[in-house]
Amino acid sequence: MSKNEEIKTLTEEEQQALLEKYDPEAGTRKLTGIIGWIAFLGLLAFSLFQLYTAIFGVFTAQIQRTVHLGFALSLIFLLFPANRKKRQKGKLQIAWYDAVLALLSVGVGAYWPLFFNDLVMSVGRLSTIDFIVGVIAILLVLEATRRAVGLPITIIAVIFLIYGLYGQFMPGFLAHRGLSLERLVQTMFFTTEGILGTPLAVSSTFIFLFLLFGAFLVRTGVGQYFNDLAVSIAGRRIGGPAKVAIFSSALQGTISGSSVANVVTSGSFTIPMMKKLGYKKEFAGAVEAAASTGGQLMPPIMGAAAFLMVEFIGGGITYWEIAKAAAIPAVLYFAGIWIMTHFEAKRIGLRGLTKEEMPDRKEVLKKIYLLLPIISVIVLLMSGMIVTHAALYSILIAILVGFINKDTRMGPKQFVLALVDGARSALGVAAATAAAGIIVGIVTKTGLGLKMANGLIDLAGGYLIPTLMLTMLAALVLGMGSPTTANYVITSTIAAPAIILLGVPDLSAHLFVFYFGIIADITPPVALAAFAAAGVAGGEPLRTGVNSAKLAIAAFIIPYIFVLSPQLLMIDTTWLELVWVIITAFSGMIAIGAGIIGYWFRKLHWAERIIAIITGLLLIYPEGVSDITGIIAFAALLALQIFWKRDKENTLKMTN
């Protein structure tokens, strides 16, 4: 490969092709003419409806959620073709059956608002038309999910429906009386326990507004500013471009709910820089994939699933408490990637960017005000403001901040396009949460959650660590084909209760499944974010996935630690204890990073690598004996490294 080929960046068309290949939510039709205008106005109306209810108050649960669902389903059938290949060929107009499905979706969305009083007064008795509408609603949700989210979560939802109908034929503890078809339809669409349940409730309030917030940040140029700021801070350091990727991707994760989208957008900028500097293609792609995936772990905005966590944990927990608890693990995750890229750069002798390759730092700092919307989210959530109001005020601040500079100033056209972009990004989430509602409804009606929890514990022999390992495997497998939202809903209703039954705090258990659902995106053999990064870098996909998993090793370790010792989540800990936990945990990540890369101040022998990794694990686990043992081992390793460095420097001086 020539040098010019190595530093070539992706065109917009190439970026879109990668998104469509690895992210089902990105592959929408490019509609024109009347159909294009209908879709455009539908997306705009969707955002305006959500803003109206956020400002003036949401409607009754069934009305709010069905209108939200109706918008999402009808727009999905207009924008997402039934056949993925047709989408990739760029088919411009819709088929007749797409129009029929879109109209049926409008009818489903309008059914509860039109007949609300009758449906409430029927007290669970379904008329023939009610039954037909309910069946149509279930089928529309399944097909829309298949198109906009993917086949795996659709298959899972269908399996749960079959389980609900034929539970009496299931073996062992899985058996239940079975639901009649009428009872199943009633639960799915005429109660708030199925499709219209908690996942869709969160989608129709919190999630939509933060996706809209992300769209406004993009339109005001904050996304590009993240890259510029990252380069100015980290570009001159050893292996600078890799550290730029980590820093910018952590920030980009705040405005992007998709690991793949984050990889393709920020990776098209950072990966060519890394390759030009000397990183191997697979390592460059892995850095971007690991960092982009971690964006959903980084507070204050941690992706759609974190908003679901508020409702699923309950007990009055606030979103800010979840974000605060996730802060140290998230920083440790990115610190681990940063440390390993640093050691890899030292190992192969890479430099940072030259002064000529750096942006003008003064010009970058002049635009520091563009971070105000992000800061406002943190401050407003810390102050105790409800999530919807914090999102609304942050959107307003993003618009006002854009007016400071003429390049980022939003005119009426940009404002409307931001509303449309926000609605478009919410379609896949709405479909995923509706499908997840099917799963939750079946779990609730059949008591499957408690049965599975007890089954997991029995399979693990009643021990916590084996139960955690089984839960981890379940989350990783589900996450390989499901979006984070659906993965979290399934594992939090089926697997998390098993951990909680063994005495683990609710927040620790839910964050445990949340973490593994997210890092499934970079866990081989199906690592969509890593495969997308390989497409940008021109590397081998599976090797890129393996490197991503190595770089993200903290995400495989830390969840076990905060389950065993919740101090890492700032639960029941003093400030002095917290400072100690942070110092030892960061020291542990240095040791683990050196052990995995095989380099610290010099190349490490295999025995030293093993000792370094064990030392790191002892330090990360916040417990007295392990900390003291880890500190002694860390100090010994560090002393040996420094002694070797000085000895080598003295030898060089003598030879010169």
Q: Which pLDDT tens digit goes with each residue over 141-200? A: 999 999 988 888 899 899 999 999 998 888 888 888 889 999 999 999 999 999 999 899
Integer Cα distance of 545 and 95 in angstroms: 38
Q: Which of 93, 96, 148 is nearest to 433 (CA)?
A: 148
Q: Which of 43-57, 510-524, 528-542, 627-641 shows the highest mean pLDDT? A: 43-57
| pLDDT tens readout for residues 17-42 | 666 666 666 667 788 889 999 999 99
Q: What is the mean pLDDT of residues 603-622?
A: 87
- pLDDT, position 45: 97
CA–CA distance, 572 with 574 (Å, rounded to integer): 7
- Is the distance from CB of 35 to CB of 96 less than 8 angstroms? no
d(CA 247, CA 241) in angstroms, rounded, equals 10
Give 397-409 pLDDT, tens digit per residue.
988 888 887 777 7
| Among 182-186, 279-283, 597-601, the range of highest mean pLDDT | 182-186
How do residues 222-263 score in pLDDT, each as one tens digit?
767 777 787 787 777 777 777 777 877 777 665 555 677 778
Q: Cα–Cα distances in Å, from 94 out to 33, 38, 78, 101, 147?
A: 11, 12, 7, 11, 14
Identify the three-state secondary structure at position 262.
helix
- What is the C-alpha to C-alpha distance for residues 399 and 392, in angstroms, rounded to an integer? 11
- HSE-CB of 399 using CA atoms within 13 angstroms: 17
pLDDT digits over 427-453, tens only?
988 999 999 999 999 998 998 888 888
Q: Is the dihedral of CA 79, 85, 88, 94 positive or negative?
A: negative
pLDDT band at residue 91 under the 50/70/90 scheme = very low
What is the band of 13 on the pLDDT scale with cuts at 50, 70, 90? low
Residue % of the chain over a pLDDT of 90: 26
Supply 432's token pair: 């995923």
- DSSP notation for 275-336: HHHT--HHHHHHHHHHHHHHGGGSSS---HHHHHHHHHH-TT--HHHHHHHHHHHHHHHHHH
Query: Any residues with CB less than 8 A from the CB of 542 and at least 6 apart, and which?
Result: 524, 525
Question: Mutual orientation of helices 372-382 and 387-402 as an angle, nearest 10°?
Answer: 160
Q: Report helix angle 181-189 to 151-165, nearest 10.
A: 130
Residue 86, pLDDT above cutoff 60: no
Q: Would you state the pLDDT for residue 477?
A: 81
| Residue 103 identity | L
State the CB neighbour count (10 A cutoff) for residue 121.
8
Q: Which residues, in sequence order, are bridge partners of residue 599? A: 603
- On whether the CB atoms of residues 530 and 22 are closer than 8 A, the answer is no
> From residue 639, how far is each of 345, 448, 632, 634, 643 by CA, in Å?
22, 55, 11, 8, 6
CA angle, residues 305, 193, 441, in degrees to nearest 5: 80
Name which residue leads in pLDDT, 153 or 140: 140
Q: 6 pLDDT exceeds 50? A: no
